Amino acid sequence: MDTIDGGLARVSLFSNMSEAALGDIEARCNWARVASGQQIFDKDSDTLEVYFVVEGAVRILTTGTEDREVALADVIAGNYFGELAAIDGMKRSARVVATKDSILASLEGPAFLDLMRQYPDIAIKVVERLTRIVRSLDSRVTQLSTQNETQRVWAEILRLAQPDPAKPDSWQIPDLPNHKEIAAWAGTSREQVAQAIGELARDGIVRRRSMGLVICDLPRLQLMAQTRGAA
């Protein structure tokens, strides 16, 4: 597809850049529309492009135990991904799939490195992002290694919960993701997700409401998700 003028202005990496500089970078990018569910690249592929999410969102996935896919991160519009391979020249360490219809701009790895050399502010932002990735993955590894599968499902329910605007002291998940999506974040199976949520419902900790979930006992759910050796 053709270049989207001003498209990269929506990407945080390029904030505060002049229009002329942005226009130059945009002209060097490849642009593509990607349908939801479409794979951008696979683990171990030898592509080096860095991708900028102008519209939509993608998910970064890896393979856990029993060949289950585990979600590592969602990259939403305004962010970017793929810089690790561009920097070290090695194969991709994860699979990336669009979770929404998206518009992506991509820059070849060597061109991205040139960009970092040309604009020190961009290089600093990349380093800061890599630091956040390391911290996030450390936390993710700790969760996967110290919580059992049921606890990880409960932790994902907690992550998705938000205050109910109509009841300030209540928490809810207005639109509960399907079991496959929750399983990807929890590193487990859809069957285990159904079992874990069913257990919460039987104990009166949550209840279904339309397409969502109401958290009836938030403190108890928090305790159950944190306690080692929970059922």
Token pair listed for 134: 């390391």
Shared domain for 109 and 21, answered yes or no, is: yes
The domain that holds 154 is classified in CATH as 1.10.10.10
List pLDDT tens digits, range 70-90. 888 899 999 999 999 999 999
Shared domain for 158 and 179, answered yes or no, is: yes
Bridge partners (DSSP) of residue 180 are none
147: CB partners within 8 A, 6+ apart: 155, 225, 228
Shared domain for 185 and 99, answered yes or no, is: no
Shared domain for 125 and 39, answered yes or no, is: yes
Shared domain for 110 and 21, answered yes or no, is: yes
User: Which domain-ending residue is among 145, 161, 185?
Assistant: 145
User: Which domain-ending residue is among 100, 130, 145?
Assistant: 145
pLDDT above 60 (res 228): no
User: Which domain-ending residue is among 114, 145, 176?
Assistant: 145
List pLDDT tens digits, range 126-182. 999 999 988 887 777 777 778 899 999 999 999 999 998 888 788 999 999 999 999
The domain that holds 84 is classified in CATH as 2.60.120.10
> Is residue 88 within a helix (H) or strand (E), and if so which, with residue range?
helix 83-88
Bridge partners (DSSP) of residue 73 are 60
User: Looking at the whole model, is its pTM more than 0.85?
Assistant: no
Shared domain for 166 and 104, answered yes or no, is: no
Shared domain for 134 and 155, answered yes or no, is: no
Q: Identify the DSSP state of 5.
A: T
Token pair listed for 96: 């990336």
List pLDDT tens digits, range 23-80. 999 999 999 999 999 999 999 999 999 999 999 999 999 886 667 788 888 999 999 9
Domain that holds residue 154: 147-226
